[in-house]
Amino acid sequence: MAEDVVVSRYRVAGLTCADCAETVRRAVSAVEGVDEVEVSFATGLMRVAHHRPVDAEVVAAVRRAGYRAERVDGAGAAAEHGGEAWWRGSRALATLLSGLLAAGGFLASTLEAGQPWAVTAWAAAIVVGGLRPARGAWTALRQRHIDMNVLMTLAVVGAAAIGEWSEGAAVVFLYSLGELLEEAAVAGTRRSIRHLMNLTPPEAEVLRDGRVVPVPVAEVRVGERVLVRPGGRVPVDGRIAAGRAALNEAPITGEAAAVDKGPGDEVFAGTVSENGYLEVDALRVAGDTTLSRIIHMVEEAQQRRARVQRWIDDFARRYTPAVVAAAALVAVVPPLCGAPWEPWLYRGLALLILACPCALVISTPVAVVSAIGRAARWGVLIKGGAHLEALSRVRVVALDKTGTLTLGRPQVTDAVPLDDVARLDGAAPGAPTDRLLALAAAAQMPSEHPLGRAVVAAARARGLEPAPPESFEVYPGQGVRARVQGMDVVVGTLAFAAAQAGLDPSAAAAPASALEAGGKTVVAVARLASPGRPACWLGLIALADEIRPGAAALISRLRAAGVRRIVMLTGDAEPAARRVAAAVGIDEVRCRLLPEGKMRAIEALEAEEGGGVLYVGDGINDAPALARASVGVAMGAAGTAAAVETAGVVLMGDDLDRLPRALDLARRALGVIRQNVAFSLAVKAAALVLLAAGRLSLWLAIAADTGATLVVVANGLRLLRAPAGHERRAPEPAADTTAPSRTTA
């Protein structure tokens, strides 16, 4: 029997480039029992799939490779404190000592008879600063892998062999300094993720056995009651059992405006109670909260690489061996043909340093993770570099109507009983209208569809409390079929109800058309045939939905952002769809679409436009279209795992205003990536020209490589800064967290 595979997550300290991540990946992959390893240097996250306990061996393998690993669980608890500060670690100390020794060597070389002391100081600088890369080089060579540590070690050993001790010391110091600065710079992207982690308090106050007990958040169990004091953060996802408060949900939705919530309302971990005391029943444990899912998604988004990143990685895999081979030829061939050894060996060592494509490889992931981290602070989840790149190329936007352009809170405006409803045996007492609403509401009690919820709400408003159906079946995009009061009832579109009940739709077509002409959505209700009971029409229910405030402004902003075509896709009738489209400024409407029809419409748009189609939807009905579009955007998905899984981009709040922002951010990110790639290649080209002219020293080669890497990292980190007007922050918890007194039995 196959053994169960477990996935463990680790935070790896000291990763500064893709070579580092690859070295760690290879080292951990060699551990017995490990099936798969993924390492992202941009986030410092490692995921290990294994079929037996391997924690100690994984940590030891990472340590042998020259790095440090720490197991993290849930929302990354071990990483909350960010680990050791980069300027306090052993790398910083080694860099400082190496620099001081190198400087001492240069000072001694200026003194008469000081050359032996200078060589000694330079040699010591090489040993102190080069010990770490030498250990990494040995690990890489054992893995049959050439990385920057191998190239650096060979260059420094070669420099010492030809007596260029000062050059070797300068190279070691500059390389170590560059690695240190890169670690500090890349830490900026990781800080944006740790900001999300720190939004959840480390402890929760839990009511146990009539007493309030502080416990670690990770130990809160589903169903336990948690207390949230005024100004405090909600520790877990839950449902309010007592109390009312204005909750700031910016960590989840990106919207800083407080939302009033009371008993029965759901709350999310990391949100802030601005002014009220709450008792919350936990619905999800710490590692499964909405905020935890956001953090995991942001951390793991780098695994979904953009096409440009895949191209760069493929290029780097070919570039490095090719340049290493060229360096060997430069160092060996001219001397074999009679040229002096020393200058050509020197040039070969310089070319060896240029073989590292660090700046090129790091140019994309830092920009991608910075953009994803920035968007997450807005409440926009972009699930990886591939989706970010696709978002930057969007030229066509297709939108669902109900719940997207409208509020998704339709209200019943008309209930039109047909003759047969008055003759129903066992139907609800009262007027025919009440009977129709009671049956339709009972059939749709379990439904999550906005129309179904509206019918139930209308029945309750009339004092008709519907009972749950005896059986219930959903037909996405069409309607429901249920057994109510001993009858099989169907509620849905006119065509669906007619097909299910075997009825002639023309009997209800005239009143349905009259209602639809007013821009209303019509739901048909029919009874299916049963022994002694023929199938019959029961009536029609008309509903109207309110257009989302700001929908028209959103359409204008999308056009201003370069979207050249905007299409509405809906399962609704044409009059209702046209009413909404005209109000918001959309010219192209496709109506009466089932989920498969929406997917085919997206396929047609993709074919017409050659790709670049974005689809925005809010429900399970939209899943096929979300999956088929170049970019699927799910909105209002806070707490909805299905929407998060299907779409490439998720708007956690119920606000489309973030969509133009996301398009702008994606295009800026692609621009930064292009700048970084062009700059990296230009620096390499300039260095090669200097090398050909015999003017490239070893220290200048490493300075060019390190300098280019730092420039592209800094350029990518610019995406962490929000453009003017885009910043939204959750407030810090208030200092005064005194709760009202509470008496317990």
pLDDT in tens, 460-511: 999 888 888 999 999 987 899 999 988 899 999 999 999 999 999 988 998 9
Q: How far apart are CA 556 and CA 550, in angstroms?
A: 10
Q: Assess whether 431 and 532 both reside in one domain.
A: yes
The string over 82-91, giving b where at least 16 C-beta atoms fall within 10 Å of a residue's C-beta and e elsewhere, is ebeebeebeb
What's residue 253's pLDDT? 62
What's residue 652's pLDDT? 75
Q: Is residue 185 part of a domain?
A: yes
Query: Rounded to whole angstroms, what are the CA distances from 287 to 74, 293, 689?
Result: 4, 8, 54
What's residue 198's pLDDT? 58
Q: Assess whether 437 and 525 both reside in one domain.
A: yes
Percentage of residues in the chain having pLDDT higher than 90: 26
pLDDT for residue 79 is more than 50: no
What's residue 279's pLDDT? 93
Q: Taking residues 54-71, what's their average pLDDT? A: 89
Q: Assess whether 526 and 583 both reside in one domain.
A: no
pLDDT for residue 726 is more than 60: no
Question: Strand 6-13 to strand 266-267: parallel, antiparallel, or no bridges (unpaired)?
Answer: unpaired
What's residue 75's pLDDT? 41
Q: Taking residues 255-281, what's their average pLDDT? A: 84
Is 428 in contact with 542 (CB distance < 8 Å)?
no
Q: Taking residues 631-651, what's their average pLDDT? A: 70
Q: How many CB atoms lie within 10 A of CB 682?
A: 11
Q: Taking residues 553-570, what's their average pLDDT? A: 92
pLDDT for residue 722 is more than 70: no
Per the annotation, the verdict on 400 as an active-site residue is yes
Domain boundary among 288, 317, 335: 288
Q: Assess whether 240 and 157 both reside in one domain.
A: no
What's residue 152's pLDDT? 82
What's residue 619's pLDDT? 62
- Please state the φ and ψ torsions of residue 241, each to the nearest 5 degrees: -95, -30
Q: Is residue 386 part of a domain?
A: yes
Is 375 in contact with 381 (CB distance < 8 Å)?
yes
pLDDT confidence band for 435 (50 / 70 / 90): confident
Q: Choose the catalytic residue: 19, 237, 400, 488.
A: 400
Query: Rounded to whole angstroms, what are the CA distances from 23 to 18, 37, 94, 145, 368?
Result: 9, 11, 21, 8, 22
pLDDT for residue 104 is more than 60: yes
pLDDT for residue 76 is more than 70: no
**Mean pLDDT for the chain?**
82
Domain boundary among 492, 526, 544: 544
Task: Could you list the beta-strand ranges (E) of 77-200.
Answer: none
Q: Which domain holds residue 240?
A: 203-288
pLDDT for residue 280 is more than 90: yes
Give me the residue label for tokens 């509020």.
407
pLDDT confidence band for 724 (50 / 70 / 90): very low
Residue 233 is classified by DSSP as: B
Q: Is residue 71 part of a domain?
A: no
270 closest CA partner among 395, 166, 369, 377: 377
What's residue 605's pLDDT? 94
Beta bridge partners of 473: 481
Most confident of 9-13, 74-78, 406-410: 9-13
pLDDT for residue 442 is more than 80: yes
Q: Which of 119-123, 305-309, 364-368, 468-472 has the lowest average pLDDT?
A: 305-309
pLDDT for residue 723 is more than 80: no
CATH of the domain at 512: 3.40.1110.10
202 or 511, higher pLDDT: 511
Q: How far apart are CA 395 and CA 608, in angstroms?
A: 12
Q: Assess whether 336 and 313 both reside in one domain.
A: yes
Q: Which of 47-56, 360-369, 443-452 has the lowest average pLDDT?
A: 360-369
CATH of the domain at 279: 2.70.150.10
Q: How far apart are CA 87 and CA 84, in angstroms?
A: 8
Is 253 in contact with 203 (CB distance < 8 Å)?
no
pLDDT confidence band for 524 (50 / 70 / 90): very high
Q: Taking residues 168-175, what's their average pLDDT? A: 86
What's residue 256's pLDDT? 54
What's residue 297's pLDDT? 60
- Tell me how far the alpha carbon of residue 313 is from its chain's centroid: 22
- Tokens representing residue 736 in the block: 């005064």
Q: Taking residues 584-610, what's their average pLDDT? A: 90
Q: Is residue 22 part of a domain?
A: no
Long-range contacts of 59-62 (CB under 8 A, 24+ apart): 59/10, 61/27, 61/28, 61/30, 61/31, 62/10, 62/12, 62/24, 62/27, 62/28
Q: Which of 74-78, 141-145, 186-190, 571-575 has the lowest average pLDDT?
A: 74-78
Q: Assess whether 306 and 337 both reside in one domain.
A: yes
Query: HEC profile for 625-675?
Result: HHHHCCEEEEECCCCCHHHHHHCCEEECCCCCCHHHHHHHHHHHHHHHHHH
Q: Assess whether 595 and 662 both reside in one domain.
A: yes
Q: Taking residues 199-204, what's their average pLDDT? A: 76
Residue 30 is classified by DSSP as: T
Is 385 in contact with 365 (CB distance < 8 Å)?
yes
Q: Assess whether 661 and 632 both reside in one domain.
A: yes
pLDDT for residue 404 is more than 60: yes
Query: Rounded to whole angstroms, what are the CA distances from 427 to 102, 420, 530, 678?
Result: 94, 11, 16, 74
What's residue 443's pLDDT? 94
SS3 (DSSP) at 225: strand
pLDDT confidence band for 308 (50 / 70 / 90): confident
Question: C-alpha angle 454/567/556, rounded to 5°?
Answer: 95
Domain boundary among 244, 266, 288: 288
190 or 638, higher pLDDT: 190
pLDDT confidence band for 601 (50 / 70 / 90): very high
Q: Is residue 45 part of a domain?
A: no
Q: Taking residues 65-83, what's their average pLDDT? A: 61
Is 359 in contact with 708 (CB distance < 8 Å)?
yes
Q: How far apart are CA 600 and CA 590, in angstroms?
A: 11
Q: Is residue 684 part of a domain?
A: yes
Q: Assess whether 479 and 585 both reside in one domain.
A: no
pLDDT confidence band for 700 (50 / 70 / 90): confident
pLDDT confidence band for 385 (50 / 70 / 90): confident
- Tokens representing residue 599 in the block: 């997917």
What's residue 193's pLDDT? 55
Q: How far apart are CA 290 and CA 442, in angstroms?
A: 32
What's residue 735's pLDDT? 39
Q: Is residue 685 part of a domain?
A: yes
Long-range contacts of 503-511 (CB under 8 A, 24+ apart): 503/535, 503/536, 503/537, 507/418, 507/537, 508/418, 508/537, 508/540, 511/416, 511/540
Question: Strand 203-208 to strand 211-216: parallel, antiparallel, or no bridges (unpaired)?
Answer: antiparallel
Number of domains in the chain: 4
- State the amino acid at position 375 in one-letter form: A
**Within 519-616, where are the H helices?**
551-560, 574-584, 595-609
What's residue 480's pLDDT? 94
Is 499 in contact with 478 (CB distance < 8 Å)?
no
Q: How far apart are CA 689 and CA 696, in angstroms?
A: 9
Question: Strand 631-635 to strand 649-651: parallel, antiparallel, or no bridges (unpaired)?
Answer: parallel
Q: Which of 36-45, 86-95, 640-649 has the lowest average pLDDT?
A: 640-649
Q: How far apart are CA 416 and CA 427, in angstroms?
A: 16
pLDDT for residue 737 is more than 70: no
Q: Taking residues 384-394, what's their average pLDDT? A: 87
* 354: CB partners within 8 A, 6+ apart: 323, 684, 687, 688, 691, 701, 704, 705
Q: Assess whether 443 and 486 both reside in one domain.
A: yes
601 closest CA partner among 619, 578, 628: 628
Q: Is residue 64 part of a domain?
A: no
Q: Assess whether 452 and 554 both reside in one domain.
A: no
CATH of the domain at 635: 3.40.50.1000
Q: Assess whether 540 and 558 both reside in one domain.
A: no
